[in-house]
Chain A
Amino acid sequence: MATLNLNGKDVSIPDDPRTTLLDFLHQHLSLFGTKKGCDHGQCGACTVIADGKRINACLVFAFQLEGAEVTTIEGIGEGESLHPLQKAFIERDAFQCGYCTSGQICSGVSLLREMKNEDPSAVTYSQTRHSKASLKEDISERMSGNLCRCGAYPNIVDAITDVIALERQ
């Protein structure tokens, strides 16, 4: 039977090929941490990490991820211990209603890895040629796939900046 690995456990992929990864999490596994916002890849509330890369769970069928390792917000921390970015979100008040937060955090956790790997972003080629583009500008660009209707953006960027600083110590 076809499976994918979800937060460390193998789970069977549903028979109906129309099932998106997001609907699979909700309807088959009762994992509701990953949110459905727009369901069209525009808001990022459903962001999860598949084989180390952040993706929109609403725009991929579960069967496309056969054999993949998928991490959702439920698998970001270790047991009761929060991921440093989860702690930073609390410290920085990086959410208000909280609906986008699980997607923001999954996205941010991937961002930390991408920046460590020096993956390029559009800011790498930005017009701010007279001075090095700011880290906050770069974080904002890399997080543009995650919308926040409450407008907690400055605090989200601050939380990510804190963890980057922590990792560079």
Chain B
Amino acid sequence: MQPFTLHHYNGEKPLSSLPLDTRSRFLAGGTNLIDLMKLQVETPKTLVSLAKWDKANTISEDDNYYYIGAMVTNSDLAKFAHTQPSLSLLAQALLSGATVQLRNRATTAGNLLQRTRCYYFYDTTKACNKREPGTGCSAYDSMNRIHAIFGTSESCIATHPSDMAVAMIALNAQVHTQQPDGNTRQIALRDFYREPGETPHIETQLDEDELITHVSIKKKANGTQYYHKVRDRSSYAFALVSVAAGLKIEDGRIKDLSLAFGGVGTKPWYPQKAISVLEGAEPTQEVILQSAEAELSEAKTFGSNDFKPELLRRTLTKVLLELAEHQVKHPGHEGALYDNA
């Protein structure tokens, strides 16, 4: 591992006192960054440890919002979300990701900012525009089974790996940040990620010296919720396709729908075209497939991932039909579709 200079941030000193630039990185839990540093995919000159930033390790709420601190671990957030029926989708997504050991260290902000698991991004002997801009994309014409079908460019077809972010996009979470000049920003998570275009190494709207302080989620009923993750093994694997959905049915029609896809986009995917077909419609198989076609109209596959559009159609259909059936049987239900607790 390359040497680095270590600094600490505990939330008391201003950010401007830290030497933040393009070669500095904030270190939260470290489950992704330390791994990338061992492989020399990341070679920061400066690390700013957030281990002593206790204030960011809390979850609070008022009448309208939940506020989740940047340093709250995935385990603690899953435990909290599990107790809130309207956040079941978030609990399900978190618990479907990684392992207990990793979730005990991984943080809310770190999860949002984790890097892709594209094989070529990890392999420093291969060309990768995300790791080394201008070198090319090894995945484009090669083994790309796990890669994206939405938001791709000739420069990059890597997926964003997070499950948590998919649920948060469905729930319209807001990211709150702090800048060195003391200003703060609020960015909708749906607008937070950038498509790769010609600059796949720039993944979010954040500036290099900007720090996520917390995430807020509006309190509202989200109906029956299901995070369905299709993957190569039943635990500890990234999604090939995932669908996060919360559904409310009234008078046989979709009254409210929270929806996002994982494993298919260069960013956690907010399927606006599908949602516009589904809103107010009767949730029949025909309508659901129409919504999938609307979204898939701009999908592009790359050979090894040609199966993903059909897998997405089937997963979306299964999820929405099961949610609709549950809503019809249990009008006004709020919480998980399946709950063995």
Kindly provide the distance from the CB of A117 to the nearest chain B CB, expressed in whole angstroms: 9
Determine if A66 is an interface residue (Cβ-Cβ < 8 Å). yes
Which of B29-37, B128-136, B189-197 interfaces with chain A?
Answer: B29-37
A59, B338: Cβ atoms closer than 8 Å:
no
B236, A144: Cβ atoms closer than 8 Å:
yes
Instruction: Output the nearest chain B residue to A51 by Cβ-Cβ distance.
Output: B104
Chain B residues near A54 (CB-CB < 8 A)? 100-101, 104
Determine if B3 is an interface residue (Cβ-Cβ < 8 Å). yes
Given A126-B340, A128-B340, A107 contacting B49 (CB threshold 8 A): no
Given A56-B31, A140-B235, A145-B236, A41 contacting B340 (CB threshold 8 A): no
Chain B residues near A20 (CB-CB < 8 A)? 34
Determine if A98 is an interface residue (Cβ-Cβ < 8 Å). no
A124, B105: Cβ atoms closer than 8 Å:
no
Given A41-B35, A64-B27, A126-B338, A47 contacting B96 (CB threshold 8 A): no
Kindly provide the distance from the CB of B13 to the nearest chain A CB, expressed in whole angstroms: 18
Q: What mask results when residues 36 to 62 of chain B are scored 1 for a CB within 8 Å of chain A, else 0? A: 001000000001010100000000000
Chain B residues near A126 (CB-CB < 8 A)? 338, 340
Kindly provide the distance from the CB of B48 to the nearest chain A CB, expressed in whole angstroms: 12
B38, A39: Cβ atoms closer than 8 Å:
yes
Q: Which of A18, A60, A61, A125 has a CB less than 8 Å from the CB of B336?
A: A125
Given A17-B6, A56-B31, A125 contacting B338 (CB threshold 8 A): yes
Q: Which of B78, B235, B339 has a CB less than 8 Å from the CB of A144?
A: B235
Instruction: Output the nearest chain B residue to A119 by Cβ-Cβ distance.
Output: B79
Chain B residues near A111 (CB-CB < 8 A)? 100
Q: What mask results when residues 154 to 166 of chain B are scored 1 for a CB within 8 Å of chain A, else 0? A: 0000000000000
Kindly provide the distance from the CB of A136 to the nearest chain B CB, expressed in whole angstroms: 13
Given A18-B3, A56-B105, A120-B78, A129 contacting B338 (CB threshold 8 A): yes
Kindly provide the distance from the CB of B320 to the nearest chain A CB, expressed in whole angstroms: 16
Determine if B75 is an interface residue (Cβ-Cβ < 8 Å). yes
B105, A61: Cβ atoms closer than 8 Å:
no
Q: Which of A65, A133, A142 has a CB less than 8 Å from the CB of B100?
A: A142
Determine if B276 is an interface residue (Cβ-Cβ < 8 Å). no
Given A121-B95, A124-B339, A125-B91, A114 contacting B100 (CB threshold 8 A): yes
Known: A60-B105, A66-B51. 16 other contacts (CB 8 A): A47-B101, A54-B100, A55-B101, A59-B30, A61-B34, A63-B49, A111-B100, A114-B100, A120-B78, A120-B95, A120-B341, A122-B96, A124-B339, A125-B338, A129-B338, A145-B102
Q: List 12 A-B contacts (CB under 8 A).
A: A17-B47, A39-B38, A53-B75, A56-B31, A59-B35, A59-B102, A63-B49, A107-B100, A120-B78, A124-B82, A124-B95, A129-B339
Chain B residues proximal to chain A, CB less than 8 Å: 1, 3-4, 6, 27, 29-31, 34-35, 38, 47, 49, 51, 75, 78-79, 82, 88, 91-92, 95-96, 98-102, 104-105, 227, 234-236, 336-341
